[in-house]
Amino acid sequence: MPSPEFLDAIRRLVAKIEASLPKVKAPIKMYVAGGAAVHFYTAYRVSADVDAIFSRRLLLPDEVEVAWQGEDGKPSLLYLDKQYNDTFSLMHEDYAAAAIPCAELNAGKRKIHVYFLSPIDLVVSKLSRYETVDQEDIRALAEQGLVNADAVRRRAEEALGGYVGEMTRIKNSIKLACKLIDAVQSKRTGNNKKKPR
């Protein structure tokens, strides 16, 4: 379960964006990626920023941020990362169709409807960078049983056609991520135990 406090911070962040928008005929879709999406599925970690893709081009306010407090009572700041750009990430062309709507954030009449990348597309989006934080996020998703290596491999390979980056590196990231997920799955199912001779 995601932290109610963190979800409320996202809700208030979205409300700030909505307040800057003119009237819209149909809700704009906001697809959340990165650490915020990982938290939504796993409650593993909270992020200081929200990486998002919008279904329409928007003129966003200069600073979109909200203060919030977690369960530990410590003050934190959550901001919209306006520098986030999915163009440089490995993204499957059908990520929007597979994204999960967030009922808690979409209740009532809203100008923006919030979706979270599906767990498998979230993993794929982390492969182009594949730094330590990305590896830990992938591990957290795998530990919850939300992804498996075969599905990630297929989805990532399908996404390669639209990738504008160094292919050798991204293919190696796919291989390493699938190996990581396999190791987590083996541990979850107890398959890593040595068989008696």
Is residue 166 pLDDT above 90, yes or no?
Answer: no
Helix (H, G, I), strand (E, B) or coil at 45: coil
Is residue 80 pLDDT above 90, yes or no?
Answer: yes
Q: Is residue 41 part of a domain?
A: yes
User: Of 114, 86, 93, 154, nearest to 8 (Cα)?
Assistant: 114
What average pLDDT does this structure show over 158-177? 93
Q: What is the C-alpha to C-alpha distance for residues 145 and 79, in angstroms, rounded to an integer?
A: 29
Enumerate residues 6+ apart whose C-beta is below 8 A from 146: 41, 42, 119
Q: Is residue 195 part of a domain?
A: no
Q: Is residue 157 part of a domain?
A: yes
Vertex 100: Cα angle to 125 and 38 (nearest 5): 50
Domain residues for the domain of 19 are 4-189
Confidence at residue 126, expressed as pLDDT on a 0 to 100 scale? 97
What does the pLDDT look like over 18-61, one tens digit per residue?
Answer: 999 988 889 999 999 999 999 999 998 889 999 999 999 988 88
Q: What is the C-alpha to C-alpha distance for residues 132 and 122, in angstroms, rounded to an integer?
A: 15
Q: Is residue 194 part of a domain?
A: no
Helix (H, G, I), strand (E, B) or coil at 186: helix
Give the global pTM: 0.91
Confidence at residue 37, expressed as pLDDT on a 0 to 100 scale? 97
Q: Is residue 70 part of a domain?
A: yes
137 and 125 in contact (C-beta within 8 Å)? no
78 and 49 in contact (C-beta within 8 Å)? yes
Q: Is residue 97 part of a domain?
A: yes
More confident residue, 63 or 156: 156
Q: Is residue 25 part of a domain?
A: yes
Confidence at residue 189, expressed as pLDDT on a 0 to 100 scale? 81
Question: What 8-state DSSP symbol labels residue 127?
Answer: T
Q: How many structural domains is the chain composed of?
A: 1
More confident residue, 195 or 191: 191
Q: Is residue 196 part of a domain?
A: no
**What are the angstrom distances between the C-alpha of 91 and each of 72, 152, 186?**
35, 12, 27
Confidence at residue 191, expressed as pLDDT on a 0 to 100 scale? 60
DSSP assignment of 43-64: -----SEEEEEESS-----S--
Confidence at residue 108, expressed as pLDDT on a 0 to 100 scale? 87
Which band of pLDDT confidence, cut at 50, 70 and 90, is reported for residue 196?
very low
Residue in this structure with the two tokens 């990532």, named with its chain if needed:
156
Is residue 147 pLDDT above 50, yes or no?
Answer: yes
